[in-house]
């Protein structure tokens, strides 16, 4: 199990599959490898990021290492074994094609125990509404990396309100130009400084 953690923290893309297989061969249930190996490794990576020991590039690589390991583990995980904290619908808003921040946040939230529904980039307000109706998430996460697409976040929040869906969920926004003041102005519940901050905020909502 420690080797799985070390592979994530050490960004060892070429060793993670073997480490996961070794843990399985030793009789460790796949869901425990996810909870105590993968998630623990990503938690340490998050701490290193906050301490400025790691940067965005390391967060991205750690996420890719985790995805590689999951390819070995997923066939062995029975539905319901991995306890989910909640469901999050994620998307980069209409007019914006940036997805690095959203992808890192999705991986880290997934590692923390959330079920992620990723709508991709260039997502119009109506598509967020449609996804909330279909997926019944606890949280909606919206990303914008350029100031000209930030008004689309407000459009999406207003569309959720108009559809009568806003009260049943939390809305978190993120991206370089986004601030907590802007979140308040458009009716979102929080603005994440980065992926690590976003995980903390989302966990605090579902564990409250």
**Structure confidence by residue, pLDDT tens digits, 101-160:** 898 899 889 888 899 999 999 999 999 999 999 999 999 999 999 999 999 999 999 999
**Cβ contacts of 49 within 8 Å, gap of 6 or more:** 55, 58, 59, 194, 195, 196
**Which of helix, strand or coil describes residue 144?**
coil
**Structure confidence by residue, pLDDT tens digits, 70-105:** 999 988 877 666 678 999 999 999 999 998 889 889
**Which of helix, strand or coil describes residue 203?**
helix
**Which of helix, strand or coil describes residue 108?**
helix
- Please report the pLDDT score of residue 81 as a whole number: 63
Q: For residue 2, how many other CB atoms are within 10 A of its CB?
A: 12
Q: What is the mean pLDDT of the chain?
A: 93
CATH architecture of 2-76: Orthogonal Bundle (1.10)
Q: For residue 208, how many other CB atoms are within 10 A of its CB?
A: 5
Residue whose C-alpha is closest to residue 49's, from 99, 126, 101, 116? 101
Phi, psi of 118 (to 5 degrees): -95, 115
Q: For residue 78, how many other CB atoms are within 10 A of its CB?
A: 9
- Reported CATH class of domain 86-207: alpha beta
Cross-strand partners of 92: 143
Domain-wise residue ranges, the chain: 2-76, 86-207
**Structure confidence by residue, pLDDT tens digits, 5-64:** 999 999 999 999 999 999 999 999 998 898 889 989 999 999 999 899 999 899 989 999
Cβ–Cβ < 8 Å for 8, 62: yes
Give the DSSP letter string of 7-68.
Answer: HHHTT-TTTHHHHHHHHHHTT--HHHHIIIIIHHHHHHHHHHHHTTSS-HHHHHHHHHHHHH
């Amino acid at each position: 199990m420690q080797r799985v953690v070390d592979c994530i923290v050490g960004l060892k893309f070429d060793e993670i599959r073997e480490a996961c297989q070794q843990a399985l061969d030793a009789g460790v249930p796949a869901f425990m490898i996810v909870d105590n190996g993968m998630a623990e490794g990503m938690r340490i990576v998050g701490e290193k990021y906050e301490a400025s020991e790691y940067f965005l590039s390391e967060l991205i690589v750690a996420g890719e290492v985790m995805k590689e390991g999951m390819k070995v583990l997923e066939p062995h995980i029975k539905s319901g074994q991995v306890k989910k904290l909640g469901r999050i619908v994620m998307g980069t808003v209409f007019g914006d094609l940036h997805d690095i921040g959203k992808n890192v946040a999705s991986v880290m939230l997934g590692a923390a125990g959330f079920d992620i529904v990723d709508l991709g980039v260039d997502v119009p307000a109506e598509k967020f509404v449609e996804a909330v109706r279909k997926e019944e998430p606890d949280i909606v996460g919206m990303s914008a990396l350029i100031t000209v697409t930030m008004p689309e976040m407000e459009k999406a929040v207003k569309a959720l309100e108009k559809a009568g869906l806003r009260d049943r969920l939390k809305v978190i926004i993120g991206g370089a130009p986004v601030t907590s003041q802007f979140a308040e102005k458009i009716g979102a519940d929080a603005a994440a400084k980065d992926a690590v901050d976003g995980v903390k905020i989302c966990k605090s909502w579902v564990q409250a």
